Amino acid sequence: MTAIVSVSSHLPETVPLASLRSELRLTDIGLRKLLKFYGLRNVCRSAESEVDSLVAVAGKLAPLSGVEDRVRYVVRAKTMPISHVYPDDSLRQVCDVLGLSHATSFTVTDHACASGLLAVDMCGMLLAADGDPGALALVLLGEKAFTYIARTIADIAVMGEGFAAVLVRAGAEGDGDRLLGYATRTHSDAAGSVAMTPAQAKEFRLTYHETLAEVVHAALGVAGVALTDVDLLLPHNVNTVSWRRTAEAIGLPHERVFLDNVKVSGHCFCADPFLNYRTAIDLGRLGAGDRYVMVSVGLGATFSAMVFQH
């Protein structure tokens, strides 16, 4: 069994979305739509390097301190396949700073913004196969919005630079949030690509809400959890209007979808569900025994959902 031991977040200062109008090539109408209709307000932007941000968020994982030798895998879950020029390797630099050079490290991008959920599931399977009950894996999430194409999903979302770190273990014993069920579906021949053709993008928009609802119900089926028993849904932070429509398709009351960070951080690539988890914990929105669903969608188009018990 896979479990999340701890989650940390690193949200840099935010800037008003309106101040990014030129950078994002927004018209007056486009800006008003994002602000008034989509519920966006501020976006995380950081002067830190990617390495500094990843080190900072990992450093906030209290259970990691003193057990670095037990970390067997360090996995970077990313949306953008490329963010630096060879031979630079930000993941190896982060491992060196954190004292994790001994760990096997690699990057997962196959599911775009849903790669974070994929990485958690993958780490659980790797740890279970290794057979060491004390071993851990560290998943690092979040990216720099370093180019125009990385800063916005046209007419859908604005990308932020928030980061999250997740400590994962395997085995039924011990503390942590137990993974009860996982489902993922890829519905396009553009899998793994953040650049879809017009035809692929049209299909993505037309089937988005129904497909996401189907995947949530599939994950609940694997977990053996009824929709009525879901206490909270932790989404990817695209926009509020999209999630209102998706909640209706799922059959979940709007108030059980955690949207507090949409207006605060923007869409922080793979990190969103975990940023929302950390905020929900800090606000007292999850209690012992509560069941919750993490959801994310990657352009390409991959739809994923995970069911946990806190």
Predicted confidence (pLDDT) at residue 52 exceeds the cutoff of 90: yes
Q: What integer is the mean pLDDT of 80-95?
A: 79
* Cα gap 158→132, rounded to integer Å: 41
Residue 289 CB partners (closer than 8 Å, separation 6+): 309, 310
pLDDT digits (tens, 9 = 90+) for 145-175: 877 777 787 777 888 999 999 999 998 777 7
Domains 2-170 and 177-309 in one fold: yes
Predicted confidence (pLDDT) at residue 205 exceeds the cutoff of 90: no
Domain range annotation of the chain: 2-170, 177-309
Residue 129 burial (CB count, 10 A): 8
Check residue 23 and give left, alpha or beta (phi > 0: left; psi -120 to 50: alpha): alpha
Name which of 22-31, 116-125, 126-135, 192-201 the model is least confident about.
192-201
Q: Which amino acid is at 179?
A: L
* Cα gap 169→181, rounded to integer Å: 16
Write down the CATH superfamily of domain 177-309. Thiolase/Chalcone synthase (3.40.47.10)
Predicted confidence (pLDDT) at residue 93 exceeds the cutoff of 80: yes
pLDDT at 96: 97
pLDDT digits (tens, 9 = 90+) for 175-191: 799 999 999 999 766 55
The rounded Cα 15 to chain-centroid distance in angstroms is 21
pLDDT digits (tens, 9 = 90+) for 244-274: 999 999 999 999 999 999 999 999 999 999 9
Q: What is the CATH number of domain 2-170?
A: 3.40.47.10
Quickly state the pLDDT bin for 31 (edges 50, 70, 90). confident
pLDDT at 89: 78
Q: Does the pTM exceed 0.75?
A: yes
